Protein backbone atom coordinates (compact mmCIF):
# COMPACT_ATOMS: atom_id res chain seq x y z
CA UNK A 1 0.00 0.00 0.00
CA UNK A 2 1.24 3.54 -0.71
CA UNK A 3 2.06 6.07 1.97
CA UNK A 4 -0.35 8.81 3.05
CA UNK A 5 0.48 12.51 3.06
CA UNK A 6 -1.47 14.10 5.92
CA UNK A 7 -3.14 17.51 6.01
CA UNK A 8 -2.48 17.87 9.74
CA UNK A 9 0.10 16.80 12.32
CA UNK A 10 -0.24 13.23 13.52
CA UNK A 11 -4.00 12.85 13.72
CA UNK A 12 -5.66 10.40 16.03
CA UNK A 13 -7.97 8.12 14.06
CA UNK A 14 -10.69 5.96 15.61
CA UNK A 15 -10.86 2.75 13.57
CA UNK A 16 -13.76 0.31 13.73
CA UNK A 17 -15.17 -2.55 11.72
CA UNK A 18 -17.61 -5.41 11.84
CA UNK A 19 -16.83 -9.01 10.92
CA UNK A 20 -17.05 -8.32 7.17
CA UNK A 21 -14.67 -5.39 7.47
CA UNK A 22 -12.16 -7.19 9.65
CA UNK A 23 -9.76 -8.30 6.87
CA UNK A 24 -9.52 -4.78 5.40
CA UNK A 25 -9.15 -3.18 8.84
CA UNK A 26 -5.69 -4.69 9.34
CA UNK A 27 -4.41 -3.19 6.08
CA UNK A 28 -5.97 0.20 6.87
CA UNK A 29 -4.51 0.20 10.37
CA UNK A 30 -1.03 -0.56 9.04
CA UNK A 31 -1.34 2.26 6.51
CA UNK A 32 -2.47 4.72 9.17
CA UNK A 33 0.35 3.77 11.52
CA UNK A 34 2.96 4.07 8.74
CA UNK A 35 1.64 7.58 8.12
CA UNK A 36 2.29 8.46 11.76
CA UNK A 37 -1.32 8.37 12.93
CA UNK A 38 -2.29 7.25 16.39
CA UNK A 39 -4.95 4.58 15.91
CA UNK A 40 -7.67 3.93 18.46
CA UNK A 41 -8.73 0.40 17.54
CA UNK A 42 -12.40 0.08 18.48
CA UNK A 43 -12.81 -3.44 17.13
CA UNK A 44 -13.88 -5.90 16.18
CA UNK A 45 -10.96 -8.23 16.76
CA UNK A 46 -11.99 -11.18 14.59
CA UNK A 47 -14.15 -12.29 11.68
CA UNK A 48 -16.75 -13.68 14.10
CA UNK A 49 -20.22 -12.20 13.48
CA UNK A 50 -20.95 -8.95 15.32
CA UNK A 51 -23.33 -6.00 14.95
CA UNK A 52 -21.79 -3.04 13.11
CA UNK A 53 -23.63 -0.26 15.03
CA UNK A 54 -21.88 -1.24 18.28
CA UNK A 55 -18.47 -0.52 16.77
CA UNK A 56 -19.52 2.53 14.74
CA UNK A 57 -20.83 4.16 17.90
CA UNK A 58 -17.59 3.51 19.81
CA UNK A 59 -15.50 5.20 17.13
CA UNK A 60 -17.94 8.09 16.71
CA UNK A 61 -17.89 8.74 20.46
CA UNK A 62 -14.11 9.10 20.20
CA UNK A 63 -14.59 11.84 17.60
CA UNK A 64 -17.40 13.68 19.39
CA UNK A 65 -15.49 13.54 22.70
CA UNK A 66 -12.37 14.97 21.06
CA UNK A 67 -10.25 11.83 21.54
CA UNK A 68 -9.92 11.38 17.75
CA UNK A 69 -9.88 13.83 14.86
CA UNK A 70 -11.79 11.43 12.61
CA UNK A 71 -13.13 7.90 12.34
CA UNK A 72 -12.63 5.22 9.70
CA UNK A 73 -15.44 2.68 9.69
CA UNK A 74 -15.44 -0.56 7.69
CA UNK A 75 -18.22 -3.06 7.07
CA UNK A 76 -19.24 -5.20 4.10
CA UNK A 77 -20.74 -2.42 1.99
CA UNK A 78 -19.95 0.63 4.12
CA UNK A 79 -23.64 1.52 4.15
CA UNK A 80 -24.48 0.22 7.63
CA UNK A 81 -21.51 1.90 9.24
CA UNK A 82 -22.26 5.22 7.51
CA UNK A 83 -25.91 5.12 8.60
CA UNK A 84 -24.95 4.33 12.20
CA UNK A 85 -22.31 7.07 12.23
CA UNK A 86 -24.64 9.71 10.84
CA UNK A 87 -27.05 9.14 13.75
CA UNK A 88 -24.58 11.22 15.78
CA UNK A 89 -25.41 14.92 15.22
CA UNK A 90 -21.74 15.97 15.27
CA UNK A 91 -20.61 13.30 12.79
CA UNK A 92 -20.53 13.86 9.06
CA UNK A 93 -19.73 10.43 7.65
CA UNK A 94 -19.11 9.84 3.96
CA UNK A 95 -19.29 6.47 2.25
CA UNK A 96 -16.63 6.65 -0.44
CA UNK A 97 -15.86 4.13 -3.16
CA UNK A 98 -13.26 6.34 -4.87
CA UNK A 99 -10.92 9.20 -3.89
CA UNK A 100 -12.85 12.11 -5.42
CA UNK A 101 -15.83 11.60 -3.13
CA UNK A 102 -13.51 11.38 -0.12
CA UNK A 103 -11.65 14.55 -1.13
CA UNK A 104 -14.80 16.58 -1.80
CA UNK A 105 -16.47 15.41 1.40
CA UNK A 106 -13.54 16.77 3.39
CA UNK A 107 -13.12 19.99 1.41
CA UNK A 108 -16.80 20.94 1.15
CA UNK A 109 -18.63 19.01 3.88
CA UNK A 110 -15.98 18.87 6.62
CA UNK A 111 -16.54 15.09 6.84
CA UNK A 112 -15.07 13.68 10.03
CA UNK A 113 -15.78 10.02 9.39
CA UNK A 114 -15.09 7.78 6.41
CA UNK A 115 -16.96 4.55 5.71
CA UNK A 116 -15.48 1.87 3.48
CA UNK A 117 -17.09 -1.26 2.07
CA UNK A 118 -14.69 -4.18 2.42
CA UNK A 119 -16.65 -6.34 -0.03
CA UNK A 120 -16.56 -3.56 -2.64
CA UNK A 121 -13.17 -1.91 -2.04
CA UNK A 122 -9.78 -3.59 -2.33
CA UNK A 123 -6.73 -2.63 -0.31
CA UNK A 124 -5.19 -0.39 -2.99
CA UNK A 125 -8.45 1.46 -3.60
CA UNK A 126 -8.95 1.82 0.16
CA UNK A 127 -5.45 3.32 0.44
CA UNK A 128 -6.23 5.85 -2.31
CA UNK A 129 -9.55 6.78 -0.70
CA UNK A 130 -8.02 7.08 2.76
CA UNK A 131 -5.15 9.17 1.40
CA UNK A 132 -7.58 11.59 -0.26
CA UNK A 133 -9.66 11.81 2.92
CA UNK A 134 -6.75 12.46 5.31
CA UNK A 135 -4.76 14.73 3.01
CA UNK A 136 -7.63 17.13 2.24
CA UNK A 137 -8.35 20.02 4.59
CA UNK A 138 -11.78 21.58 5.01
CA UNK A 139 -12.05 24.72 2.85
CA UNK A 140 -14.52 26.56 5.09
CA UNK A 141 -15.73 29.83 3.60
CA UNK A 142 -18.87 29.45 1.53
CA UNK A 143 -19.30 25.88 2.81
CA UNK A 144 -19.59 26.86 6.48
CA UNK A 145 -23.18 28.12 6.26
CA UNK A 146 -24.23 24.87 4.59
CA UNK A 147 -22.55 22.80 7.27
CA UNK A 148 -24.44 24.79 9.93
CA UNK A 149 -27.71 23.90 8.20
CA UNK A 150 -27.02 20.18 8.69
CA UNK A 151 -28.04 20.46 12.33
CA UNK A 152 -31.76 19.98 12.92
CA UNK A 153 -33.66 23.27 13.08
CA UNK A 154 -34.64 24.47 16.52
CA UNK A 155 -38.32 24.03 17.25
CA UNK A 156 -40.22 27.14 18.23
CA UNK A 157 -43.24 27.33 20.45
CA UNK A 158 -45.64 29.33 18.33
Q: Give residue 1's pLDDT.
A: 47
Query: Which letter, b or e, does each residue of 17-36 get, where b requires 16 or more Cβ atoms within 10 Å of its Cβ?
Result: bbbbbbebbebbbebbeebe
| Given the residues 75, 88, 93, 97, the one annotated as active site | 75
Positions of the chain with pLDDT under 50: 1
Answer yes or no: 93 catalytic.
Answer: no
- At the topology level of CATH, where does 12-148 sit? Ribose 5-phosphate Isomerase B; Chain: A, (3.40.1400)
- For 31-53, the pLDDT digits (tens) are 999 989 999 999 999 999 999 99
H-type alpha helices, 65-153: 79-85, 99-109, 123-135, 144-148
Q: Give residue 79's pLDDT.
A: 98
Domain ranges of the chain: 12-148
Q: Give residue 90's pLDDT.
A: 94
Q: Give residue 10's pLDDT.
A: 65
Answer yes or no: 17 catalytic.
Answer: no
Contact between residue 74 and residue 26 where contact means Cβ atoms under 8 Å apart: no
| Given the residues 57, 97, 108, 143, the one annotated as active site | 108
Amino acid sequence: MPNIVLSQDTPVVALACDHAGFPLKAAVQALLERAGCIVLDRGTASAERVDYPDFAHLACHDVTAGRASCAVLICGSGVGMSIAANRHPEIRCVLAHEPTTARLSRAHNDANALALGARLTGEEAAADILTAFLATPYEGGRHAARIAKLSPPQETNA
